[in-house]
Chain A
Amino acid sequence: MKAASTNYISDLRLKPNMGEVIEMMASAPAAETTQAKFECRNVEVFYSGKRALHGINMDVPDSGVTALIGPSGCGKSTFLRVFNRMNDTIPNARVAGQILMDRQDIYGKDIDPVLLRARVGMVFQKPNPFPKSIYDNVAYGPRIHGLAPRKSDLDTIVEKSLMRAGLWDEVKDRLKEAGTSLSGGQQQRLVIARAIAVSPEVILMDEPASALDPIATAKLEELIDELKEKYCILIVTHSMAQAARVSQKTAFFHLGDLVEYDDTQTIFTNPKDQRTQDYITGRTG
């Protein structure tokens, strides 16, 4: 289990020690505990008073990949946005219930969503690199959080992040070029590098491969497989095969309800609920 103090971002009053930052990037926590990263208690989300999520109770493990599946409009994206409080940025959206991250209520009064989002990164369905250079894309997060006091530190972070996202070899000679000039798959990995650069604990991914071709998708899945050693990953996907390939835990949502949540193996081989069974065998959805 990680103590809150090892996460330098949670205490920005202290200037980060670069050695510590880089060491943290190199040796992120081992994935051995069964400790829950997130505990969701009766989470509800309302859009203009209309309930989109009906009292979700679910523990997200500290390590590994947790997949969220379910038919379109069932509330997967809504649920994912609960973890980094991106729902706060949607006017008319309201979140009720309790979400604990490392036992701490992330909707508590003492939590600043801006710092929470540095701890919980996010990758969107459509790659959204900034219209800046590849370097500046990755450097943006460390810059705004003041993680790299010197240019050389920033260079190190950018390089490590791009390496970890499996993009370094493809872009190391063109860091000054526009991030938007990359292919879709490269852009998505760039966005992942950008998220990694602020040393998050968790990465949320909302259908990250839905705009990619099969080869880019395979590359991305490989990357997710590597990243899960260091980060807690939550992924929304429409592909059953992808959920089966990359995740250890799977949650099936239906019409705003969490229908079934279990080990991925169990969900795909031996689902308990009829709705889950219908969905994974392609009879609904």
Chain B
Amino acid sequence: MSAMAKTSIHQTDLARKRLARRKAKEKRFRYAGVTAVVIAMVMLGWLVVSLVGTGYTAFFQHYLTITVTLDENILDPNGARDADQLRKANYRKIIQQALYARFPEVTYRRSKRALFQIISASGATNHVRKMVYQDPNLVGRELTIVVPVSDDVDQFLKGYIDRKAPEELRRVSDQQIAWVDQLVTSGELVRKFNWRFFTAADSRDPELAGIAGAVVGSIMALGVAFFLSVPIGVGAAVYLEEFAPKNRLTDFIEININNLAAVPSIVFGLLGLAVFLNFFGLPRSAPLVGGMVLGLMTLPTIIIATRSALRAVSPSIIDGALSLGASHTQAVFHHKVPLAASGILTGSIIGMAQALGETAPLLMIGMVAFVTEIPTNIMEPASALPVQIFLWSDSAERAWAERTSAAIIVLLIVLISMNAIAIFLRSRLERRW
């Protein structure tokens, strides 16, 4: 009857206090979440900024345009145009003479050597050798070529070597700096996009090294891994999920598949070494073996992804099929597998992306070799992108550091694209009905 009696317990001061406390708690939780996200984003941003910061310059390279005289007396003294002679000829001298001709004032031997060091010696000689070899008629003529400068000059021009530092502390001398400045002013030395980085295989000289060999090796290994692990993995998953009797043996197999997914990848490398190389005698460093090892490694991932995709299919669809007189096998292959396809595909792509980034197992089977040729088939020695990164990161020169970062950028872009494709395919396939 009194006013007190009519007040609900949710309207008292105490209730308000309880509500305030609850809200404060929720707010604290929200702040904690935001903080975690911010920290994660900062770290990620830091990684990207530092990678791009050190790596982007590797996508450019300085080139020198120079005219060489293909002196017959040096290249082909007996005039036979013999292929063997043309290959072995002293192209180094040709390049040297071209440089001396460009700077006639250089006469001291030591200065001449310093002058020759401003361009990529093997880059220039190989370039000219290839041209002459392809067209022997060039001998005796003049030829204008565009060749990379040496890695030290390139780094200097990219600003990584301080011209104010004491001469004995930098890798380019005052004299070389003067020549380079002159060439830049005259427009003979220019910066260009570094296509070679994407088209060449590895090299001892950073200015000539590219990722193409490693990329092709990775693609081959991934192809092998895909054709090995996807059919076997999906088949095994469908059988285990839908047809295998439920008994101790299948329980045991299931536990072991889950365990395999957690086995460190280097163990798969050891397995590959013991089985594929030592027992079956397959070649070392071959993408075939690398692919088989990566395929074994992704097998559990694909089996687990496929099984959970199958389990996610609504049982009412299967009941519908069964009630129409479809056999169990028909219900599985007409309805369950197609409906699980997007999940299976996503799992496979993510498994493949994992395999692409894997280094350790490839080290064990020798895909860590220094390979200067782009492999043409899966039995040839090859490297792989992450292994290439590992190899380059071990080298001391500044030019390798930028190439390491650039290769990492390429690897990350490929991985992110693969995951994006997986997400895109999933949403596409799911939106169909």
Chain A positions within 8 Å of B, measured between CB atoms, are 9, 84, 86, 89, 91, 114-118, 121-122, 124, 126, 128-132, 140-141, 144-145, 178, 180-181, 191, 194-195, 198
Contacts and interface: CB of A to CB of B under 8 A. Distances in A.
B324 A141 contact: yes
A144 B433 contact: no
A91 B317 CA distance: 17
Contact of A124 (B246, B320, B335): B320
Given A131-B433, A178-B433, A86 B335 contact: no
B319 interface: yes
Interface string B315-348: 0110111111111101000110001000000000
Contact of B317 (A114, A117, A130, A141): A130
A146 to B, nearest CB: 11
A130 B335 contact: yes
A130 B320 contact: yes
Contacts of B327: 114
Given A132-B433, A178-B433, A180-B433, A145 B320 contact: no
A140 B325 contact: no
A131 B324 contact: no
Contacts, number: 65
Contacts of B316: 124, 126, 128
Contacts of A131: 317, 339, 432-433
Contact of A114 (B246, B325, B432): B325
A128 B325 contact: no
A198 B321 CA distance: 12
Contact of B321 (A84, A130, A181): A130
A120 to B, nearest CB: 9
Given A130-B335, A131-B433, A115 B319 contact: no
Contact of A198 (B320, B325, B339): B325
B433 A117 contact: no
A191 B339 CA distance: 19
A113 to B, nearest CB: 9
A194 B319 contact: no
Interface string B223-247: 0000000000000000000000010
Contact of A141 (B314, B319, B325): B325
A117 B325 contact: yes
B23 to A, nearest CB: 39
A230 to B, nearest CB: 18
A84 B324 CA distance: 10
A128 B320 contact: yes
7 residue pairs, one from A and one from B, having the closest CB atoms:
A118-B325, A122-B323, A131-B433, A128-B316, A117-B325, A141-B324, A178-B433
B254 to A, nearest CB: 16
